[in-house]
Structure 1
Amino acid sequence: MRDLLTRLDAATPADRDRALDALRALAVLGVVIGHWLVTALVMESGTVRVASPLRSMPQLAPVSWVFQTLAVFFLVGGLVATRGHLRARARGVSYGRWLAGRAARLFRPAAALVAVWAVAAPAMLAWGAELESVWALVKLVLSPMWFLLVFAALTAATPLVSRLHPAWPLAVVGVVDLARFTVDGADGLGWVNVVAGWLVPYCMGAAWARRGLPGRAAGWALLAGGGAAAVALVTWGGYPAAMVGVPGAPLSNLDPPSLAAVAFGLAQSGAAVLLLGPLRRLLRRPAAWGAVALTNLAAMTIFLWHQTATIAVASVALLAGRLPGLHTAPDGLGWVLARPAWLPVFAAVLLVCCTAFHVHERRAAG
């Protein structure tokens, strides 16, 4: 292992900003761990339903403020895509060829997941599983696909949106929220925010790619301003405290993205700026950089397969009966205390999934 870490460190170009890779890795792992903590597969009387402890224990909402890290992924994605497009254009690489390469990195790993579940779902039905239960599992596994579609669309639009000031999509989010919460029949407008909401961090990253990364003063301003706005919107604006979707909740900050979620994303972007310096110092160590590099090499596989790992653990463990923190309803302190013990098991099974299916991501990158 030490030799592998040393080789990874030596093979990394000297001018590569390792902190950006670390932010991307943290964003992916934040989503994965967050899902594992707040997504429960409740198995009762032969049926499966998806539940969240945030529904019965709303006081746990601050957990979602730690692990809902999608804005950081879009921020880094906008920065990296813009830099990549500018470099490709300077080398004479066509837009189509550049986009095809980036799209392959997203969709080839996704195609493998869809293929496996296209077989697994009918097999479960053939073995007697209820349609409602199978549908709940399929939705859980395929739900990350919305992220891929939005991220792919923004990537394709990089030449257009890279010069767009993030204040414009931010204003769109605000106007859309005002309309859908005050005008009868305007709920459908919320889906405009699926693009506009994530355009805010994406455009910010694109701007930083062109003008250079901001200093710590800007980071503190984003963190304080975005954080204060998010707290105010939750406290006085009627937005839910959880920054993730909660099954059965009347309103979500993420489905579609709300003004509160976008404000929270600005705070996260500020925190990302403040972390750049410490991360660069930490990543001079081969062991730390090796962990980040390996995570990034399998980032899409990790993201796509983490819920399948959860389902696999829950299914096999059911042979031992309904286990606390795994099959039981997330409605009390007992579940909260039991759940973290399952995370290493989920991670071990996810590692197996990555070993089996990372080849699709590696081929796309190669």
Structure 2
Amino acid sequence: MPSRLRAAVRAIEERTPAHRDRAVDGLRALALLAVPLGHWMLGGFTLGGDGSLHNASPLATLGFFAPLSWLLQMLGIFFLVGGCSSVLSLRRSAERGDALGQWLGGRLARLGRPVLGVTAVWAVLLGVLSLLGVPGGTLRTAAVLVVQPLWFVGIYAGVTALTPLCARAARRWGLWSAVPLLGSVAVVDFLRYGPLASQMPSWLGLLNLLPGWLFSYQLGVCWGLGRLRRAGGYVLLTGGAVLFAVLLLVFGYPASMVGVPGEARTNSHPPSLLVLALAAAQCGAAVLLRNRIARLLRRPALWAPVVVVNLSAMTVLCWHQTAMLAAAVPATAAGGGVAGLTTAPDSLGWVVARLAWLPVFAVLLVAVGSVTRRFETPWGGAGRGVRAAAGALAAAFALYAVAVV
């Protein structure tokens, strides 16, 4: 290891407080990195007749990719550690005498600034790329990909606002406080997939949005307050795995955890009961492995990357699709398809080629993130005019995205 890198690792280790929960940070980093890896491996492109990029998925033709989605769909872990860290942060804020609104405003601002940044930048990029002759189809595809991860931020902001209520429920009922959320999703799934499905409105599944993602967050709040221990971890791991198998093998839920083009049903948008079953099993495993992960991350060389990833969490989330587009859009100018990048994701050859592209996407993400990470810090130095312009550009991009998604 070069001396400068060793010095950086040592500095991170020395600045880490003794009380820092390394396992929670490690789980957050793991869940976060699964987002770009999932989008980069489970999403692809095809080229239209005019040379424009269109979204495609290997899941449509490569059925063996479905189990891969079980590993890469780690939002349950993300919401688990989010609930855990939020309730502890809220408690520290209360001990300092801060008002609830002050705490919540700070949390939401940290989520909102990077989203405002990426949407404002892309509002400008769409115009620039159009002037450079990039086809409209490619611009629409880019808008869809940029928006794709941002729905998570809205949901996460919503459940964060409910942290005080979640904490109250966790203190009173412990792990049982998450059961009504599971039951709510089960009822909605029964109505939209059961014998009365033909009589149900198409929007019924939207009722699963809040309880579906709040379930893991509530488990995290219980974890942070000491109401979810190893015994509960075994219950979640075993119960979630059994429920997952039953839903998949008996009730015919789709095997993929993400949407598949051409499929009538999807598990993730909005979340189905299968998503909650997987989340329960993942959360149980996280609880049971907490001490082992913490011991592993006592090694400075392993802990330093975790810190770096966590410090750039929103940058990774908001800009990883841009990194992939930074490789794919210029490749269309070459004419013809580039293996693993702009060719149809329908063969093992595409899988091998896409694996080779992953380091390129990662390098591009680091390059983009080195510039855009400033959106994560407070914009105190920006004047009102700059902030207003950013807001207007973001609104313009949002209107375009709504029109094409």
Q: TM-score, normalised by structure 2?
A: 0.87
The residue identity in structure 1 corresponding to 2:186 is G
Equivalence map 1:132-143=2 (5 Å): 132-143=137-148
Count of residues in correspondence between the two structures: 364
Deviation at 1:247, TM superposition (A): 2.8
3-state secondary structure, aligned to 1:93: coil
The residue identity in structure 2 corresponding to 1:200 is F
Structure 2 unaligned runs (5+)? 170-176, 381-405
Q: Does 1:162 align with 2:176?
A: no
* 1:146 match: 151
Contact 2:25–2:306 (CA under 8 A) maintained in structure 1:
yes
Equivalence map 1:1-40=2 (5 Å): 1-40=5-44
Contact 1:163–1:206 (CA under 8 A) maintained in structure 2:
no
* 1:76 match: 81
Q: List per-residue Cα deviations over 1:70-125 (Å, max 9, x = no partner).
A: 01000110111111111111211011110111111111111110011111112233
CA distance in 2, matches of 1:212, 1:287: 32
Deviation at 1:142, TM superposition (A): 1.0
Q: Does 1:227 align with 2:232?
A: no
CA distance in 2, matches of 1:333, 1:72: 30
The residue identity in structure 1 corresponding to 2:321 is Q
Deviation at 1:207, TM superposition (A): 1.2
Deviation at 1:173, TM superposition (A): 0.4
The residue identity in structure 2 corresponding to 1:266 is A
Contact 1:74–1:198 (CA under 8 A) maintained in structure 2:
yes
CA distance in 1, matches of 2:363, 2:333: 19
- Match for residue 65 of structure 2 among 60, 66, 72: 60
Q: Does 1:288 align with 2:292?
A: no
CA distance in 2, matches of 1:275, 1:29: 19
The residue identity in structure 1 corresponding to 2:8 is L
Contact 1:297–1:362 (CA under 8 A) maintained in structure 2:
no
Equivalence map 1:83-232=2 (5 Å): 83-164=88-169, 165-182=177-194, 183=196, 184-215=199-230, 217-232=231-246
3-state secondary structure, aligned to 2:64: helix
Which protein has the larger Cα radius of gyration, Structure 1 or Structure 2? Answer: 2
- Match for residue 361 of structure 1 among 365, 373, 376: 376
Deviation at 1:161, TM superposition (A): 2.3
State the Cα RMSD in Å. Answer: 1.6
- Match for residue 352 of structure 2 among 327, 337, 340: 337
The residue identity in structure 2 corresponding to 1:65 is W
Contact 2:28–2:81 (CA under 8 A) maintained in structure 1:
yes
The residue identity in structure 2 corresponding to 1:348 is V
* 2:265 match: 251
CA distance in 2, matches of 1:271, 1:207: 15
Deviation at 1:319, TM superposition (A): 4.3
What's the % identity of the aligned pairs? 44
The residue identity in structure 2 corresponding to 1:35 is H
Per mean C-alpha deviation after superposition, the further-off stretch among 280-289 and 158-167 is: 158-167
Contact 1:104–1:364 (CA under 8 A) maintained in structure 2:
no
Contact 2:254–2:266 (CA under 8 A) maintained in structure 1:
yes
Deviation at 1:213, TM superposition (A): 4.8
CA distance in 1, matches of 2:227, 2:300: 26
Per mean C-alpha deviation after superposition, the further-off stretch among 237-246 and 17-26 is: 237-246
Deviation at 1:363, TM superposition (A): 3.5
CA distance in 1, matches of 2:267, 2:106: 32
Deviation at 1:162, TM superposition (A): 2.4
Q: List per-residue Cα deviations over 1:228-262 (Å, max 9, x = no partner).
A: 21121011112100111223321111010000111
Deviation at 1:199, TM superposition (A): 0.8
CA distance in 2, matches of 1:213, 1:174: 22
